Amino acid sequence: MTGSPLRLRLRSTSARPLDDDDLLTEILLRLYPNPSSLPRASVVCTRWRGIISDPGFLRRFRLRHRRSAPILGCFRTDLQRPRVNFVPTLEAPDRVPAERFSLQLVGCYRFRPLNCRHGLVLLIILWCRMELLVWDPVTGDQHHLAVPRGFLRDMQERRIEGAVIRAAGVVHHFQVALVGFDENDRKRAIACVYSSETGSWGNPVSTLLPDEVLNDTDFFGVPAVPVADSVYWFISGGSSRILGFDLHRQMLSVMPVPSDFDRKDGCQCMFIQAEGGGLGFLAKSGCKVQLWKMESDCDGLASWALGRTIELDTLLPLDPEEKKSLLIIGHAEYSNVLFLWTVIGHFTLHLESLKVEKTFDTEIWFLHQPLECVYTGEMGIGGAPGGANLLHNA
């Protein structure tokens, strides 16, 4: 049976869904942000490649997936040599070669990693004048920043900590939040912010430390975490405290740790994004992990509330002797994944699903700085030739 002339005319003039560029763009934006996703889609046809290579599309893709970017791997510091090694964690075709993101420092530097966030790595170089290095692993760009005046400099101790921050959707500019101790008054903590947009440090701010933390106070080496407009560090001395730096109001504050935390008992800790948002605190003692959240009452007074407790010995395939040397060596913020070291290898633990996966078969342990970002290789992944474009997670 032949259709009516009107129906035939409508069929011939209506466009197929994928012929609509706007609709196709929305579909491509929803591709999973694995490294191979966009390169594969770009070879379908010239039209798809044109959409995917458009800077506006890439910017939208970055923004859409900034909180769900995969963990490409970890930066592992070799303290015996001036080198930062990249250890990939994804399988082919998404595996990024280790040599693509490794850093060889020129000269015999002593250095310490401070932070890896938003596609950038922050290091402090313990050299004659002490400086900071902000490194973009993909482009290779290195920004050397002199530590501003007013900070106590001690080559042997953890007297300075920092965090690198990049706003959502911003690629070319970053901030460095630096904290330490006042060189003229050891009882005061001091903080300052560097902006790559202005190329300068802002005015320093400081706060008086409570007497109970003044006994040989330093930073405990716990990576900083930004929550809302603030960044938090862990300080220890005669007593443990949390140092918060409000970047918007330019204020420093000292906060208590959860009452059950005792680092002298071999307890490990780190900051995390709390469930439902806000500042979280993770404390590990033995095989038990406690997750705390900072809450405020009706009067605005903040206190810690215990959330979940995780028993690691029920999740990991370890015998009783192997469980004694279990360590946390890293945390991926947006994926909410812990990196664990054991004598039989490295594992990852997803804190929400409690899924455990083995990653490395090595008895050597290093602190890990996970790299979470959206990555596309223009000519392929896994050692194929060609350039690469990193769409920074924010």
Q: What is the number of domains present in the chain?
A: 1
Q: Is the pLDDT of residue 394 over 50?
A: no
Residues 6+ apart with CB under 8 A from 249: 229
Q: Is the pLDDT of residue 265 over 70?
A: no
In the predicted model, is pLDDT for residue 280 greater than 50? yes
For 246, 302, 307, the CA distances from 298, given in Å and listed in that order, are 21, 10, 20
- CA dihedral 208→274→302→290, nearest 10 degrees, is -90
pLDDT for position 89: 85
Q: Residue 142 pairs with which residues in a beta bridge?
A: 135
Residue 254 located in a structural domain:
yes
Alpha-carbon dihedral of residues 301, 303, 305, 310, nearest 10 degrees? Answer: 150
Residue 73 sits in which domain range? 62-391
Whether residue 108 is contained in a domain is answered as yes
| Whole-number Å distance between alpha carbons of 55 and 119 | 18
Is residue 261 situated within a structural domain?
Answer: yes
DSSP reduced 3-state for 303: strand
Tell me the three state secondary structure of residue 55.
helix
Residue 23: left (phi > 0), alpha (psi -120 to 50), or beta? alpha
- Identity (one letter) of the amino acid at 165? I
Residue 55, in any domain of the structure:
no
CATH code, domain carrying 304: 2.120.10
**Residue 162, pLDDT score:** 93
- The answer to whether the CB of 315 falls within 8 A of the CB of 308 is no
Residue 326 has pLDDT above 60, yes or no: yes
Q: Which of 289, 339, 337 is nearest to 313 (CA)?
A: 289
Provide the 8-state DSSP code for 262: -
Give the chain's mean pLDDT: 81
Query: What gap in Å lies between CA 220 and CA 225, rounded to an integer?
Result: 14
More confident residue, 118 or 362: 118
Lowest-pLDDT range, 29-38, 46-55, 205-214, 216-225?
Answer: 216-225
Task: Give the count of alpha carbons within 13 A of 394, CB side only.
Answer: 18
Q: What is the pLDDT of residues 304-324, one digit of tens each?
A: 989 899 999 899 888 887 777
Q: Could you report the per-residue pLDDT of 125-158, keeping only the tens digit for each?
A: 877 678 899 998 877 889 999 999 888 887 666 7
For the segment 32-44, the average pLDDT, to the nearest whole number, is 90
pLDDT single digits (tens) 86-109: 888 888 889 888 888 888 877 656
Residue ranges in the chain assigned as alpha helix (H)? 5-13, 21-29, 37-42, 46-52, 55-64
> Residue 316 in contact with residue 347, Cβ under 8 Å?
yes
Which pLDDT tens digit goes with each residue over 209-226?
A: 887 666 667 776 778 888
Per DSSP, what are the bridge partners of residue 390? 375
Q: Please state the pTM of the whole predicted model.
A: 0.83
Closest of 289, 213, 290 to residue 256, by C-alpha:
213
pLDDT at 297 over 80: no
